[in-house]
Structure 1
């Protein structure tokens, strides 16, 4: 497989990113791992003579909710295809003042509020207990490359990873703000920590698609408006991905 279906870098697409426009699709493969099936086929693509692998986190039809994503299978499948660097694209809600809708954020920290997810490879048939260093959850070199590839992405911020699939209450968002969170999403963990466990470089490219509950005077989240921002924001994401491959 690695002779003709491999790449150094992979993109995991979140809500709104189900394909890479202007990228030449070379091949699709459905893989099965020891951890189960990935969310979608892996798509080998090319841009400017650079190859990459794309995987749709929620499935190509966007039918897998955040708490049902098989994060272990997704990362493992990418590792088996020779991937060394992973960019996780995510749609998030803005909590703090700078994180207004349409803002792109390259976070540098994360707080995990999820539960009951398969969050580690190190749990069965171990020779010894394994602890990974997760002080800095994102790979700094990859973060820097994303920032260089973007005109105005925000450098840093804390991603609050919540369980979903429901959106949060205003009181919950207020607690996240008190805890030091800047943005909130549902897929940041355990994706980041699993990548660290299998020694994949990992960074998140987040698009703020709405104010989180109760922020900026928000009374109710408008899903139609949110989807419009997703469509516009993903054009910016595409531009960043092209630049990083250049």
Structure 2
């Protein structure tokens, strides 16, 4: 990716975000994946002339729970659709007393506590190890922060997102443990999503939208479902404003990612070419085609 090109922005919408307003030339279209069924069709369109592809993470109508999401298919279809960077929008609970409901967090770290999910595209027949020391693209984070400032969105730059398996919420003891670890927000969906985006050489960033305090908070028991839904819907409206503000920034022509997100597989595959499984190689055509063709 040494030459300048026009990015294609992938948007993954979490709870409360099942569509994107203002898209021109919009078309819902199913993209097939060798990794199985994605959560839904993809919504193709343009926003201020920038090509965008939207995927509702849980499907329209919120059909799919976190543990049942086909994360590999979701990332694969976005890559096949030409996406070069992903902005992931997720509803979360707060583990930090300074992050009240309605605040947005531009996450920069994750702790992955999930255990029932397929976490890699690389299996027996083709082994690869990518770095996720810095799991989000700082360039995308910079753009999101600038857009948040422009629309006067309450936000925090930087924070750790604890990803739990779910679908149940935490026990109070777990919530207190995660706070002791220094985590800021808790949710159920951004791992292995971020890891898979890195394997697919896609720039990735998460905007976590706080809906309520997790159960550690003294006032948690007084929170009603209606109150949480009200905040979630308000967050969804603000998220759509954020998307409209950030897309023109992310859509500017660019070269290679300064952080190297688009070259994550450069030296990651360790299986000798003659030992690679042809069937798995065929499934990896979109995700790892750049490096496999060069091998």
Short-chain TM bin: over 0.9
Is structure 2 residue 75 aligned with structure 1 residue 51? no
Mapping 1:88-167, distance limit 5 Å: 88-126=88-126, 129-151=127-149, 152-167=154-169
**Which residue of structure 2 aligns with residue 39 of structure 1?**
39
**Structure 2 stretches lacking a partner, 5+ long:** 1-5, 249-295
**Structure 1 stretches lacking a partner, 5+ long:** 1-5
**Aligned residues: CA RMSD:** 1.4
**Which residue of structure 2 aligns with residue 214 of structure 1?**
216
**Which residue of structure 2 aligns with residue 75 of structure 1?**
75
C-alpha separation in 2, matches of 1:83 and 1:22: 19
C-alpha separation in 2, matches of 1:17 and 1:25: 20
C-alpha separation in 2, matches of 1:240 and 1:28: 22
C-alpha separation in 1, matches of 2:14 and 2:49: 25
Q: Does structure 2 conserve the Cα–Cα contact (< 8 Å) formed by 1:161 and 1:184?
A: yes
**Which residue of structure 2 aligns with residue 3 of structure 1?**
none
**Which residue of structure 2 aligns with residue 244 of structure 1?**
246
C-alpha separation in 1, matches of 2:189 and 2:104: 16
SS in 1 for 2:221: coil
**Which residue of structure 1 aligns with residue 284 of structure 2?**
none
Larger radius of gyration: 2
C-alpha separation in 2, matches of 1:28 and 1:240: 22
C-alpha separation in 2, matches of 1:161 and 1:70: 16
**Which residue of structure 2 aligns with residue 175 of structure 1?**
177
Cα offset, 1:187, TM superposition: 0.2
Give TM-score, length-normalised by structure 1: 0.93
C-alpha separation in 2, matches of 1:131 and 1:13: 28
